Structure 1
Amino acid sequence: MSPFNHFYRLSNIFIGSYKNVLHKRTNPFNLTQVCNYTRKSAEQMLGIDKPKRPLTPFFKFMAQMRPALLAKNPGMTSKEAITWSSKHWQELDAETKSQMVKEYEKDMEDYKKIKKLYESSLSEDQKEEIKRVKEEIAAAREKRKLKAEFKEMGRPKKPMSSYFLFMQSRKDSFQGNNVKEYQEKVRTDWQKLSDNERQKFEKQAQDLMNKYKKEIEAWEVKMISIGRGDLVREKSSKPKKSKTVKEQ
């Protein structure tokens, strides 16, 4: 028998805490507003204990092998670990695979039952909160994707404002001090600048902005020419106000 045949006996730790719901755990939900959006699900971010779908036999096998594999090969990359797991999964004996498939099917039956319990236990307010957070997560994901595409396609970066140019000119005075105190001092110094001193930074910012506008227009023309018009800014469709001629 294959040395891997004991894996089917291991409990499915990846189904997660949904079994607590089946066992009639009281007060399973805790709606806590979370502002920073990470890779967590909407339910996790709201503190809602949602049942986890069981892993397929292959992914369960890979997850069970990973700790020992990385312990022996600490420098192994994720890609290498997946390649190794795929190779050994193909070599796994039919009996072990069959047992793991049976376990997966049983886990899926439990999962479907408990998922129904979970869904019926959600209040309308919880459902609305989950929907809202999912929409915000999707929007944040699209924003990250767009930002990555901009970087990949070499989109010109918008220049700093006159105030941030001034702040950059004062960065040598920071020297590891408290960030909040440093920002407050820069703000105070900015307000104390004479008109002539401030105009220097405003002119620098304006020159950079003029250069940026030319670069972004050229970049957008290029994107349209290569079929990436989806990366181009939407032009304002507001009609320009026509000048009225005063009657004499």
Structure 2
Amino acid sequence: MAPFSLLSVGANVLARSFSLFSSTATVRWSCIAPTLKHFSTTVGGPPKRPLTAYLRYVKEQQSVVVQQNPDIKIVDIIRKIAQQWKTLTPEQKRPFEEATLIDREQYKVAMQKYQAQLTPEQTASIAEEKRQKRAKRKAIRKKRELNNLGKPKRLRTPFNIFMSEHFEEAKGSTVQAKMKSLLDDWKSLYISQKQVYVQLAEDDKVRYKNEMKAWEEHMVELGREDLVRRKERRSKKAKATKGGKKKSRVKVLKAKGPVTKKTAAQPTAKRLSQTTKK
């Protein structure tokens, strides 16, 4: 059985998905299951991924729980179903797992049929889209990990500081409009007015440098040298080897044998033999 912590995480994700709909409305599970991008140039879209055994159980039990608890919140519905799934025996879970296995086989056949009708350009486009999604997920996980490890906030530029101070009163109803308005206001400032934010940025640079130094030293103590900047790793490595003897690079040349009278006379003797034959 899955740990309850994992079920809780899944419950929160499903609850956010359910919040888009009424508690008594039919849930569109295709929104939860990840699918490939639909290309208008292809005949039909890609097949939908089959539901997992757990999602099948949630889909079946949702209406039952709602009928038994009309005033229950969506988050509590998912949490209650997750608890029920946790207490099921392997025999009780088997029908949902077997149905998932059957759907997976059908999905494989449908996916092969779908991929066969794609052009090379569309196949390459789908592969590139998958690569970008993987890179994005990796970057998100990396950022989350760094935040959990307490990495200092990035240093701010003069314009960043100006923008944070005047964002609320900036003109525009959207973020893009406000950004454009702030950028125009920044360009219209005098150099003396910008100097205030330049000085604040310099102070923030000192803050960032000190905090990063302390944080990277802590990461080294934790054995996470992979998170230390390359430049810092090189400098620390150079300090560690400072004072040691440098290895001399000696270029090894292949020694030539001494030139004897016999070897020196060989070309001349060869020419004389050729002249005699003529």
User: Residues 35 and 49 of structure 2 are in contact (CA less than 8 Å); yes or no, is this contact kept in structure 1?
Assistant: no
Residue of 46, 49, 56 corresponding to 1:50: 46
Any residues of structure 2 matched to 1:52-91 within 5 Å, and which? 52-57=48-53, 59-70=55-66, 72=69, 73-74=72-73, 75-76=75-76, 78-87=78-87, 89-90=88-89
Give CA deviations for 1:189-213 in whole Å, capped at 9, x if unaligned: 3233232222121111011112201
User: Residues 42 and 130 of structure 1 are in contact (CA less than 8 Å); yes or no, is this contact kept in structure 2?
Assistant: no
Give the aligned partner of residue 216 of structure 2: 220
CA distance in 2, matches of 1:166, 1:14: 45
Give the aligned partner of residue 149 of structure 1: 145
CA distance in 1, matches of 2:161, 2:109: 60
Worse overlay, 147-156 or 113-122: 113-122
CA distance in 2, matches of 1:181, 1:209: 29
**% identical aligned pairs:** 23
Pick 1 or 2: higher relative contact order, CA cutoff 8 A, min separation 6: 1
Any residues of structure 2 matched to 1:1-248 within 5 Å, and which? 41=34, 43-44=36-37, 46=39, 49-57=45-53, 59-70=55-66, 72=69, 73-74=72-73, 75-76=75-76, 78-87=78-87, 89-90=88-89, 103-104=99-100, 106-171=102-167, 173-174=169-170, 179-180=175-176, 182-235=178-231
CA distance in 2, matches of 1:102, 1:200: 67
Q: Secondary structure at the match of 1:207?
A: helix
Aligned length: 201
Give the aligned partner of residue 30 of structure 1: none
Q: Secondary structure at the match of 1:173?
A: coil
Give the gaps of 5 or more residues in structure 2.
1-26, 235-278
Could you tell me how far 1:217 is from its partner in structure 2?
Answer: 1.7
Give the gaps of 5 or more residues in structure 1.
1-12, 17-38, 239-248
Q: Larger Rg: 1 or 2?
A: 2
What TM-score does the superposition give when structure 1 sets the normalisation length?
Answer: 0.64
